[in-house]
A and B are shown apart, each in its own frame.
Chain A
Amino acid sequence: MEDLKNNSGQSLGIAALITAIITFVLSVIPCVGLIALIPGIIAIVIASVGLTQAAKNNSPRGVLFAGLIIGIIATLISFSQVFVIGKIAQKGDRWPGNIQNIINDVQDNVIKDLEDANISIKVESNGDKMEINTSSNKKDMEQKLEDLEGENTQKDDTLQKEK
C-alpha cells in the first residue's frame, strides 16, 4: 500500500514525458509544427495532474518535472511556427508585389519614352541619302492633326461629299 502511495503519479509522469518528447520532435518540423500544440498541451495537463498527485502522496517528481518542462518548451516551439508561417507569407506577398511594381515601372517608362520619342530614319542607296525626321510627341501630333483638320475640312464635310 505504501509502495502504491509512493509511486502515485509516476505512470502519469512517464506518459507525460513520452508525449512531451514526441511533441518536441514534431514541433520542430514546420509542416506539423502547429498541430503539435495539441499533444503539447496534453503533456502539460498530464504532468500537472501527476504533480498534484505526487505532491499529495509525497512521491518522487523528477519524471513529472521533466515531462512538464519538455512539454512547455515543445509547446512554445510549436507556437513559434506562427512566426515561420508569417515569414513565408510575407515572402510570398513580397516577391509578386516587387515583380508587379517592376513591370508597372517598365510599362510607364516605355509609354513615356514612346510619347516623347524623336524618330529618325536614314536610307542610303547607291550614293543617294534620304533622311526622315519626325517627332512622335503625342501633344505635337494632336496639334498637327487639329491644324490639318482646321485647314482642309469643314463641318459636315463627309455629308456634303455624299450629296
Chain B
Amino acid sequence: MLVIAYSGIFSPENNNYPVTCVHEKLTGEPCLSCGLSHSFSLIVRGKIDEAYRWNQYGMRVFLFFISQLILRVVYSIYYIWNINSRKQLIIIDCVGSGIIFLIAFWPFIESIISGALH
C-alpha cells in the first residue's frame, strides 16, 4: 500500500523523489536499482514501456509488492476462518512469500553475492 502511495504521490514529471541512490552518490556510477522509483510511478500511471526503460527490474519488484498486498488479504481471511490449520497457513505463507521474494529480487541478491565473493 505504501509503495503504491509512494509511486502515486511522487511523479516522474516533477522528479521530486525523496530517495537518492547511496551508490551513485558515493561512486558516481548507477546501480541495478537506479530508476526504480521512476519505474514504479510510471507503472502506476500505466506507462509500462517507459517503466521498463527506467529500470528493467521495476515491474517484477512492483509485482512482488502487489502480490504481497493480495496475499495478506487472502491469508488474513483464511486465518480468521480456519482456526485449526493456522500453523500450516503460516508456514505456507512464509515459504510462498519467500519464493516470490527470491524470484522478484534475484538480480539484486545476485549482485550482492557476486560483490561479496569477488
Interface residues of B in 33-92 (CB under 8 A from A): 33-34, 36, 61
Asked if B19 contacts A31 (CB within 8 A), the reply is yes
Q: Which of A6-14, A80-88, A147-155 contacts B (4 or more CB under 8 A)?
A: A80-88
**A25 contacts B by Cβ under 8 Å:** yes
**B15 contacts A by Cβ under 8 Å:** no
Given contacts A84-B111, A84-B112, A84-B115, contact A31 B34 (CB under 8 A): yes
Asked if B31 contacts A84 (CB within 8 A), the reply is yes
Q: Which of A32-40, A109-117, A118-126 contacts B (4 or more CB under 8 A)?
A: A32-40
Asked if A89 contacts B27 (CB within 8 A), the reply is yes
Given contacts A77-B112, A85-B26, A88-B23, contact A31 B31 (CB under 8 A): yes
Given contacts A80-B115, A84-B115, contact A30 B108 (CB under 8 A): yes
Residues of A within 8 A of B29 (CB): 88-89, 91-92
Mask, B16-29, CB within 8 Å of A = 1, is 00011111101111
Cα distance A34–B26 in the bound complex, in angstroms: 12
Asked if B112 contacts A32 (CB within 8 A), the reply is no
Given contacts A77-B112, A84-B23, A84-B111, contact A28 B34 (CB under 8 A): no
Interface of B is mostly: helix
**Chain A minimum-CB-distance residue to B2:** A22
Asked if B116 contacts A30 (CB within 8 A), the reply is no
Asked if B28 contacts A80 (CB within 8 A), the reply is no
Option from B22, B24, B27 in Cβ contact (under 8 Å) with A35? B22
Asked if B31 contacts A28 (CB within 8 A), the reply is no
Mask, B97-118, CB within 8 Å of A = 1, is 0000100010011011011101
**B89 CB, min distance to chain A CBs, angstroms:** 16
Residues of A within 8 A of B34 (CB): 31
**A27 CB, min distance to chain B CBs, angstroms:** 9
Interface residues of B, Cβ cutoff 8 Å to A: 19-24, 26-29, 31-34, 36, 61, 101, 105, 108-109, 111-112, 114-116, 118
Ordered by A's residue number, 26 sampled pairs between the chains whose C-beta atoms are within 8 Å are: A25-B101, A29-B36, A29-B61, A30-B21, A30-B31, A30-B33, A31-B24, A31-B33, A31-B36, A32-B22, A33-B22, A35-B22, A80-B116, A81-B22, A81-B23, A83-B116, A84-B112, A84-B115, A85-B22, A85-B27, A87-B115, A88-B23, A88-B31, A89-B27, A89-B29, A91-B29
The 3 lowest CB-CB distance pairs between A and B, nearest first, are A84-B115, A83-B115, A30-B31
Interface residues of A, Cβ cutoff 8 Å to B: 25, 28-35, 77, 80-81, 83-89, 91-92
